[in-house]
Structure 1
Amino acid sequence: MGQNTLKESMLKKDEFTVTWELVPGRGAREENQEFIFDGAKQAAESDKIDGITITDNPGGNPAISAEYLGMKAEEIGIPALVHFTCKDKNRNQMESFLYSLERENVNNILVMTGDYPVGGYDGRSRPVYDMDPTQVLEMVTDLNSGLEYKDAFGRSVGLKDTDFFPGAAVSPFKKLESEQMVQYYKLKKKVEAGAKFIIPQLGYDARKFHELIQFIEMNNWDIPVIGNVYVLSYGASRAMNANRIPGCVVTDKMVDKLAEEKEADDKGKHARLMRAAKMYAFMKGMGYAGVHLGGHGMGYEDVEFIIDKGEELAPNWKDYIHEFDFPMEDGFYYFQKDSETGLNTDKPASKDYRPKNDLHNRTFRVMHHAMFEPDGFLFKPMQLVCSAIDDSSLEKPFEFMERVIKTVSNDCQECGDCALFDLAYLCPMSQCPKNQRNGACGGSRDGYCEVYPNEKECIYVRAYDRLKPYGEEEQLKEYQIPPVNWDLHRTASWLNFYMGRDHSGKRMGITPPGSEKSGKSKKA
């Protein structure tokens, strides 16, 4: 694989990129951290590994900084792919970390939502989620183009271009049509925001790996996809099967298979490594640009075995497809099955799921059109009323009235930059624990939220189900929603809309009649 950087390797059509995932733990000089540094040194001396991947606070637990480890890996001489997540940092700190990475020539980042925090000093950490991955990708794209901003004196300042190579994650392993389609809708936004490569979530269904490649080809995205190959132990399989590691799909059938294998003299290790080698082989055959190798406690010799055996098996990759038939029960597939190969045809499957149209949704649709669409009969009267109330003594009572109405209907958090219009009248700030404004995270299971399994449905599953009866579900992929403008926090979102201050008002080009305040925030 020579002297190519990780980026060059991914982009070369005739190369198959290999990265090795190293998982940091808690502490500065503990045994786990030494394992990472030893692994980085072995990878740097190898001619088989193109880079190491470093996770960011895996499982939502605190760990040594992935950004720091990425810098140290580059010093050692192996390219690093740093996981850059949204859960613990606000937008200013993200920007600061990006400057540090750029300064140290750590340019490969995988932008993800991140696991919901489960631990921390003296109790659970407060999650941040100030931006979602699509918004972070837009920030990175702007930095790569030379970000321009206004300084404290109102002067225009342009930064030097950065050289980040950002990627994004997606899960093709979802059971419900609604759950799967919102994953692909968000993937479209990520690609449009600047994602340069894709890595899927963890699963063991060959048809789903094939589906992702087909979906990307169908959309004419010339973007490398790096397959996720995880050496799955019996213990890890049980944890994933029980949904203790959100987003990872391991079926009952897969757990039973591993239970049989662990009875062997080597506790099933050879079978696990051979499974990984066969995944390497079929992914190379399907058209993946490389593989991302991971597994708890996996050493360099295991990685080398998977690569060598995978290359050996690759010419006959189709012979192993039948060994990866671990579908979710009654699971949705985007394409019809090819019974001859065990993979997919190029014909999309029927999306015949018909959700019920609930009364809450119908009521909100009628009210929304009347009040917030320019051709609605209440739009102009509301605009005139809001224009008169704005910056007057009536503003606080008006804000209180709106707060009561929206708290009752949507548990309003008073962000002042409302996204109800964008999400079928569901609030991502109060009803999504990760505050995702541009699509679902990858942690849902059977349609339920990662944080509230079997209790609360994913807000994007609900939104899809509300929109589909009207044939409007694809609006969930149509435009990028900016992060909340916190200048507007605890102000009346209706005033901000009709005055053209919030993102919806700006997108619709709304300006209040006869007002010079249009487009300005009073707190700016």
Structure 2
Amino acid sequence: MSQLKDALHEHTFVCVMEFVPKPSAERFAALDAIMARKQLCGWPLTVAIGDRVGSPLDMSPLDAFTSLDTAVPALLHFSGKDRERQDLLAQLKRMDNAGLDQLLILTGDRLPGHQPGQRPVRYLESVAALQITRQARPDWLLGAALNPFKYHEEEGAAQYFKAEKKLSAGADFLTLQMGYDDRKHQEALHWMRRQRTPKPLIACLMALTHGRAKMLEHVAGAVVSPAMRDILAAELDVSKAYAQTRSIERLALQVIGLKLMGYAGVHLSGIHDLAQFQALEQALHTQQGEIHTLEQWAPAWAASWQMPGLPAVTFNPPGANWRLGESRVSASRTEQARYHVLSGLHSLLFDRSNWLSRSFGWAVTRPVWRTAQGARLLHQLERSIKRPLLGCDTCGRCRLEDTLYICPESCPKGLANGPCGGTSLNRCEFGDRECVHSVKYRTAKSVEQTAVLTDRLIPCIELPSRHQSSWPTWFNPTLTTTPEPCGSGGAPLRLAREEARPASPKPSAHHLKPAHTKRPAEIDN
């Protein structure tokens, strides 16, 4: 087993050092010097190599790994932004050749330059990527992400619901988004311990200064409250050296607290040279001799966020402080009516049992629709009906039944299984809309269909099926939706419905009445 897998299996606290690969000899030399230490305060040390953090032109994690002077234990990242299934499979093959067998799978933040309504950018969603990887490499160590630092019910509960899907899809551990709210760290642990098969959690940390706080304002999903910024500014007013010392001491204190809470390890970001690493190690040695319990740690953590003349720090944004287990929101009448109308239409036209559905199915599976002109006409007809109503992009395999009739294509990233980690108070990372998954959560809660948000793992849309009508294959999975040869240059669709949907048969969302529906108010009870 790998070092990280060994540590997680043996319940040994582990330190993961994040490395963002850049074509800089100095950065690689600095990482080599840090990794030569092999441990931090006796904890095993491994490196996590980021993927497409800046742009798609960044050095790949595998190329960065092979550029290191000495082979070290490594956790490679895979970001799904602007990627397809074949990109993931190609990376798996290259990793096999390099002897690597552990991967942190992320959907990825917004691709630079991606604007909704302009050139479509595909994001290979983490849930689907986990399914693909687990099937292809059953014995690998796979990780995924969780962002518990959410302060509205919709975005927070939806994060945990999607995390359940990630566990079901094959994640062996979850790495948290960077954050400083100790109550949210404990919340995530409490949630994990209530899962059927709990998995290790690793917390992502960074020594925070006033300058880094400004930088994090532009990092999707990162939360630095005004109260935190005020304290960091006051530290900088004393001196830059004082502010840097305080940031390292706070980082060491946070590492100790997370270890005492029960985290499996920490994922350290922003340590770029050996001097910073040694300063952290010294702070850890000092504080470990003084703090042995959470009861000792809590007041020390609070004191580290105090400055004379300033009020006690609050980590949550002003006016927003949702905690797991609180249930306050519900869908509007319009949102509920929309669901019921669309669900009723779906039952009439697509359940394959009533005479109207059978008639519609017979009509759209006629041979005429398998000619080049017929396929184009049917595609245009479906798109003209569904795009104004739902934001449909005619992906060739409609997922509306599994998403409470909120089209995944109305998400700029096309995410079907739940939100990314980049939302902020229910706002989409792109800033131009409310996150569609927040709307989906409210709707699911109000119509008692939250089981849909955890139980249905929705595969990715394959390239050959896109921009074709989904109707023929819905009623007859053996049909292709375009003739051979395809006039647009694409391959004909040959995805059977049983391949495209969960293996076990599920009733439609309209008829689903789960025996136990998880609601946020029940998760903590």
Asked if TM exceeds 0.5, the reply is: yes
Structure 1: runs of 5 or more not aligned: 146-162, 336-348, 511-524
CA distance in structure 2 between the partners assigned to 1:486 and 1:422 by the alignment: 20
Contact kept in structure 1, 2:352 and 2:475, CA below 8 Å:
no
Superposition deviation, residue 134 in structure 1: 1.2
After the TM superposition, which residues 17-36 of structure 1 pair with which residues of structure 2 at under 5 Å, given as runs? 17-25=14-22, 28-29=23-24, 31-36=26-31
CA distance in structure 1 between the partners assigned to 2:210 and 2:56 by the alignment: 22
Q: CA 1:52–1:302 in 2, change beyond 3 Å: closer, same or farther?
A: farther
Q: Determine whether 1:295 maps to 2:289.
A: no
Deviations 1:376-395 (A, max 9, x none): 56322222222336536755
The one of 325, 349, 361 aligned to 1:371: 349
Q: Determine whether 1:482 maps to 2:422.
A: no
Q: CA 1:485–1:48 in 2, change beyond 3 Å: closer, same or farther?
A: closer
CA distance in structure 1 between the partners assigned to 2:134 and 2:14 by the alignment: 23
Contact kept in structure 2, 1:447 and 1:458, CA below 8 Å:
yes
Q: Determine whether 1:200 maps to 2:176.
A: yes
Q: CA 1:212–1:68 in 2, change beyond 3 Å: closer, same or farther?
A: same
Q: Determine whether 1:97 maps to 2:91.
A: yes
Answer with 199-208 or 77-86: which moved more: 77-86
Contact kept in structure 2, 1:24 and 1:57, CA below 8 Å:
no
Deviations 1:68-115 (A, max 9, x none): 223445x61421111211114321121111111122122222111112
Which one-letter code corresponds to 1:416 in the other structure? G
Q: CA 1:305–1:377 in 2, change beyond 3 Å: closer, same or farther?
A: farther
CA distance in structure 2 between the partners assigned to 1:305 and 1:109 by the alignment: 31
CA distance in structure 2 between the partners assigned to 1:70 and 1:385 by the alignment: 55
Other structure's SS at 2:451 match: helix
Contact kept in structure 2, 1:197 and 1:223, CA below 8 Å:
yes
Which one-letter code corresponds to 1:36 in the other structure? L
Other structure's SS at 2:461 match: coil
Q: CA 1:170–1:306 in 2, change beyond 3 Å: closer, same or farther?
A: farther
The one of 223, 231, 234 aligned to 1:249: 223
Aligned residue number for residue 404 of structure 2: 424
Other structure's SS at 1:263 match: helix
Q: Determine whether 1:403 maps to 2:383.
A: yes
Deviations 1:450-505 (A, max 9, x none): 12x2x211121121122222111331111111111333223211222111366767
Output the aligned Cα RMSD.
Answer: 2.9
Which one-letter code corresponds to 1:370 in the other structure? L
Superposition deviation, residue 177 in structure 1: 0.9
Deviations 1:162-221 (A, max 9, x none): x42110110001121110111111111111111111110011111100011000101133
Deviations 1:32-84 (A, max 9, x none): 444334433444799544201221122446422222223445x6142111121
Q: CA 1:174–1:254 in 2, change beyond 3 Å: closer, same or farther?
A: same
Q: CA 1:330–1:504 in 2, change beyond 3 Å: closer, same or farther?
A: farther
Contact kept in structure 1, 2:394 and 2:468, CA below 8 Å:
yes
CA distance in structure 2 between the partners assigned to 1:306 and 1:371 by the alignment: 65
Length, aligned pairs only: 465
CA distance in structure 2 between the partners assigned to 1:472 and 1:190 by the alignment: 19
Normalised to the residue count of structure 2, the TM-score between the two structures is 0.81
Q: CA 1:43–1:433 in 2, change beyond 3 Å: closer, same or farther?
A: farther
Which one-letter code corresponds to 1:108 in the other structure? Q
The one of 87, 94, 100 aligned to 1:106: 100
Answer with 28-37 or 60-69: which moved more: 28-37
The one of 273, 285, 289 aligned to 2:260: 285
Deviations 1:133-164 (A, max 9, x none): 1111112211224xxxxxxxxxxxxxxxxx42
Q: CA 1:364–1:297 in 2, change beyond 3 Å: closer, same or farther?
A: same
Which one-letter code corresponds to 1:353 in the other structure? V
CA distance in structure 1 between the partners assigned to 2:145 and 2:290 by the alignment: 27
Aligned residue number for residue 137 of structure 2: 144
Q: CA 1:36–1:115 in 2, change beyond 3 Å: closer, same or farther?
A: farther
Contact kept in structure 2, 1:428 and 1:436, CA below 8 Å:
yes
Other structure's SS at 2:418 match: coil
Other structure's SS at 1:50 match: strand
Q: Determine whether 1:221 maps to 2:194.
A: no
CA distance in structure 1 between the partners assigned to 2:75 and 2:374 by the alignment: 53
Which one-letter code corresponds to 1:257 in the other structure? I
Which one-letter code corresponds to 2:99 in the other structure? N
Other structure's SS at 1:435 match: coil
CA distance in structure 1 between the partners assigned to 2:40 and 2:298 by the alignment: 33
Answer with 287-296 or 495-504: which moved more: 495-504
CA distance in structure 2 between the partners assigned to 1:20 and 1:312 by the alignment: 24
The one of 176, 180, 183 aligned to 2:152: 176
CA distance in structure 2 between the partners assigned to 1:500 and 1:281 by the alignment: 55
After the TM superposition, which residues 64-103 of structure 1 pair with which residues of structure 2 at under 5 Å, given as runs? 64-73=59-68, 76-103=70-97
Q: CA 1:443–1:264 in 2, change beyond 3 Å: closer, same or farther?
A: same
Superposition deviation, residue 419 in structure 1: 1.7
The one of 48, 52, 57 aligned to 2:47: 52
Other structure's SS at 2:365 match: helix
Contact kept in structure 1, 2:107 and 2:123, CA below 8 Å:
no
Superposition deviation, residue 351 in structure 1: 1.1
CA distance in structure 1 between the partners assigned to 2:315 and 2:124 by the alignment: 35
Contact kept in structure 2, 1:48 and 1:304, CA below 8 Å:
no
Deviations 1:286-337 (A, max 9, x none): 11111112226463213423543453355133333354551233445444xx
Contact kept in structure 1, 2:203 and 2:265, CA below 8 Å:
yes
CA distance in structure 2 between the partners assigned to 1:316 and 1:418 by the alignment: 52
Aligned residue number for residue 386 of structure 1: 364
Normalised to the residue count of structure 1, the TM-score between the two structures is 0.81
Answer with 279-288 or 385-394: which moved more: 385-394
Q: CA 1:127–1:40 in 2, change beyond 3 Å: closer, same or farther?
A: farther
After the TM superposition, which residues 493-512 of structure 1 pair with which residues of structure 2 at under 5 Å, given as runs? 493-500=470-477, 507=501
Which one-letter code corresponds to 2:342 in the other structure? F
Tell which has more relative contact order, 1 or 2 (C-alpha 8 A, sep 6+).
2
CA distance in structure 2 between the partners assigned to 1:61 and 1:302 by the alignment: 33
Which one-letter code corresponds to 2:101 in the other structure? N
Structure 2: runs of 5 or more not aligned: 303-313, 479-494, 507-525
